[in-house]
Amino acid sequence: MPAQTSFRDLLALLDQQRQLRHVSRRVDARHELVAIMRKVQKGPNQSLLFRTVTGSPTPIATNVLCRRSILADALDLPLPAMLPELVKREASTRPLETVSDAPVQERVVTGNISVESEIPQVVHCAEDAGPYITAGVVIARHPETGIHNASWNRIQIVGGDHMRIRMMAPQHLGQYHAAAERKNEPLPIAVVIGAPPSLMLSAASKIPFEADELLTAGGWQGSNLRVVQAKTVRLLVPADAEYVIEGHVLPNVMEDEGPFGEFTDGYVARAPNNVMRVTAITRRNDAIYHVILAGGPEDSTLLGVPLQTEVYKRVSAFAKIRDIGTPGHIFGCVVSIEKNSDDQARAVMLAALAAHPWMKVVVVVDADVDPHDPQEVLWAIHTRHTPETGVYMIPRLGSFQRTDVRDAHRGKVGIDATAPMSMRDVFRRRAFPGMDEIDLDVVLDPLRPR
Ligand SMILES: Cc1cc2nc3c(=O)[nH]c(=O)nc-3n(C[C@H](O)[C@H](O)[C@H](O)COP(=O)(O)O)c2cc1C
């Protein structure tokens, strides 16, 4: 099956696979929508389509990429070989296909912009400063090179044409803005909501500064990304997206933004951030808005897969890699290897810790342990890890450097949870003949009515 090239095609695929749950009753955009999403994430963890949301002109989809397998299906990637395949495709970028008539511009609003009447006012957590856009892919062109960057940035809706955007250097968008600011010029940006899956991934990935992330998106989906000229800024935007908000980030203007409940499950405090002035809002007539919960399963897929790919690039020189997971949080990873010597586990651990600044805890497990299953990983630590020789501390080296929590992220640790080569036979896992063929619905009697 070819890759899905639009957000709505992905939703249609999920619907067909019976992975999309519809919510028909009216839901409130302030807290209720996110509370339902959070409850589903803690339970069956399915994608959701809210049909009627108070104050929203359109339906809202959430928790869409809530499993890594959904991203694999969306991009037509073989799940077990997802990481090497992504590395391969990153190198084969595709040119853009520019169209003049785009679904995302079926409805165009310019002049007298009132963001609050066009965009749902979704409020996430108890102490949040107000409504936020949390699933916006921001597209910008470097003021000197013209290269496109795509990144995810949370945006606080203030009112009218006024929003506040979190976009600090060293993030590339922050660097683009700094280049514009040096000339005292505003930076044109377009916020894409309901973006093609390949663009959602390239926006979350640390692609080299010199590379164009729209071309990388084409490489990942295996076809040219369809783009259209934006209405009020000199930028190309994905033609098949659901919504685009066009505007400028102002030079030398900062305002307090936040607090906001963010991806470590705490709040990031109120702090000065940049200001965006909106010049146009375009969308499909029957658009579907997208909402992501920071730190939820969809955020974990989007942040986790690029991290796993970065780690894969570094560790595959040292051992045959079965797979890499980020089951706890993206400040660590689990690497499953086919080990030929005890040294390999140590080399993989050190390479993984060096693969990304955020990597704080790395666990290496054998190939018979699923690196995506936290229960399996803990089992491996409890049964196969030797604390006396299998813990590697790198003191002092920092990982997550946000100033308010920097001191909690000092030092890195690697845990070797592979079985020693000399005891491989003892650690062979048990097998249960016939188990895979058993259908419990056939074997077990139906539950008796109470
Ligand atoms: C849903 C989501 C929201 C994010 N929000 C922010 C944000 O508000 N600010 C930020 O600096 N990074 C945020 N990120 C992380 C960046 O998108 C990510 O670091 C990306 O690689 C930046 O890319 P760039 O430096 O190539 O532009 C977010 C990621 C996701 C998946």
DSSP 284: -
User: Do 355 and 274 fall into the same domain?
Assistant: no
From the number of C-beta atoms within 10 Å of its C-beta (0-12, 13-18, 19+), residue 116 rates as: middle
Q: Is the CB of 299 under 6 A from ligand 1?
A: yes
- Ligand 1 pocket mutation, candidates 71, 124, 152, 168, criterion most atoms within 8 A of CB: 152
CA distance 435 to 196: 40
Tell me if residue 185 falls in helix, strand or coil. coil
Q: Is the pTM of this model over 0.75?
A: yes
So what's the pLDDT on residue 120? 97
Q: Is residue 181 part of a domain?
A: yes
Q: Which residue carries 């188990």 as its tokens? A: 435
User: Do 260 and 315 fall into the same domain?
Assistant: no
So what's the pLDDT on residue 395? 95
So what's the pLDDT on residue 163? 98
Could you identify the atom of ligand 1 that is nearest to the CA of residue 207?
A: 26
So what's the pLDDT on residue 72? 98
So what's the pLDDT on residue 450? 84
Are the C-beta atoms of 365 and 334 separated by less than 8 Å? yes
Q: Is residue 445 part of a domain?
A: no
User: Do 244 and 315 fall into the same domain?
Assistant: no
So what's the pLDDT on residue 1? 81
Q: Is the CB of 206 under 6 A from ligand 1?
A: yes
Q: Is the CB of 173 under 6 A from ligand 1?
A: yes
Q: Is residue 280 part of a domain?
A: yes
- Output the domain CATH number for residue 398: 3.40.1670.10
Q: Is residue 289 part of a domain?
A: no
Nearest CA to ligand 1 atom 6: 153
Q: Is residue 448 part of a domain?
A: no
User: Do 280 and 327 fall into the same domain?
Assistant: no
One pLDDT digit (tens) per residue for the chain, 450 residues = 899 999 999 999 999 999 999 999 999 999 999 999 999 999 999 999 999 999 899 999 999 999 999 999 999 999 999 999 999 999 999 999 999 999 999 999 999 999 999 999 999 999 999 999 999 999 999 999 999 999 999 999 999 999 999 987 789 999 999 999 999 999 999 999 999 999 999 999 999 999 999 999 999 999 999 999 999 999 999 999 999 999 999 999 999 999 999 999 999 999 999 999 999 999 999 999 999 999 999 999 999 999 999 999 999 999 999 999 999 999 999 999 999 999 999 999 999 999 999 999 999 999 999 999 999 999 999 999 999 999 999 999 999 988 888 899 999 999 999 999 999 999 999 999 999 999 999 999 999 988
Q: Is the CB of 303 under 6 A from ligand 1?
A: yes
CA angle, residues 274, 151, 238, in degrees to nearest 5: 115
**Residue where one domain finishes, among candidates 229, 256, 284:** 284
Q: Is residue 207 part of a domain?
A: yes
- Ligand 1 pocket mutation, candidates 171, 176, 206, 402, criterion most atoms within 8 A of CB: 171
Spatial strand order in the sheet of 226-229: 97-98, 226-229, 236-238
Nearest CA to ligand 1 atom 20: 204
Q: Is residue 439 part of a domain?
A: no
Nearest CA to ligand 1 atom 7: 153
**Residue where one domain finishes, among candidates 254, 284, 314:** 284
**How many domains are there within the chain?**
2
User: Do 312 and 270 fall into the same domain?
Assistant: no
**Residue where one domain finishes, among candidates 238, 260, 284:** 284
Question: If you measure from the C-alpha of residue 166 to the centroid of ligand 1, how many angstroms do you get, rounded to a whole number?
Answer: 9
CA distance 262 to 332: 17
User: Do 51 and 121 fall into the same domain?
Assistant: yes
User: Do 262 and 367 fall into the same domain?
Assistant: no
Q: Is residue 432 part of a domain?
A: no
Could you identify the atom of ligand 1 that is nearest to the CA of residue 302?
A: 31
Domain that holds residue 183: 7-284
User: Do 180 and 42 fall into the same domain?
Assistant: yes
Instruction: Enter the tokens of residue 32.
Output: 């209720």
User: Do 278 and 219 fall into the same domain?
Assistant: yes
In the chain the first and final C-alpha atoms are separated, in Å, by: 45
User: Do 113 and 243 fall into the same domain?
Assistant: yes
User: Do 91 and 156 fall into the same domain?
Assistant: yes
User: Do 181 and 327 fall into the same domain?
Assistant: no
